[in-house]
Amino acid sequence: MLEYAWKKPIKKEAIMSTFTFYNLGRSLKIAQSRKSLKNIDLAGILQVFPQEISRWRTTGIISKKHHAALCIALNISKFSEFVALGEDE
């Protein structure tokens, strides 16, 4: 249970239910497989280390500064389309 001095205690479940979580790691895996891009190839295009791509795929955490470049590299017109790739069907 999370507690705040200025509010009544709030259950963690109540907080978690208000957010929508997206599986960006899954979206990245799907997009890469569709384009036949390996981590090292995508890393070269985005000018990051291949370990960064691997971290994105594993954690699903992708910095906002990479969103636009990632969409361009994967030939996806909108980031929302990229996100939709990882949504459960």
CATH number at residue 76: 1.10.260.40
Q: If you average pLDDT over residues 13-33, what whole number do you get?
A: 74
**Residue 27: other Cβ atoms inside 10 A:** 25
Q: How many domains does the chain have?
A: 1
In a domain, 59, yes or no: yes
Residue percentage of the chain with pLDDT more than 70 = 74
Identify the H or E element spanning 82.
helix 79-85
pLDDT in tens, 38-74: 999 999 999 999 999 999 999 999 999 999 999 999 9
In a domain, 13, yes or no: no
* pLDDT > 90? residue 28: yes
Res 16: pLDDT: 46
Q: How far apart are CA 21 and CA 50, in angstroms?
A: 25
In a domain, 28, yes or no: yes
In a domain, 5, yes or no: no
Give the bridge partners for 2, in sequence order.
10
Longest dimension (CA), the chain: 52
- Determine the structural domain holding residue 61 and report its residue range: 22-85
pLDDT band at 78 (very low <50, low <70, confident <90, very high): very high
Give the bridge partners for 10, in sequence order.
2
What is the value of pTM for the model shown? 0.73
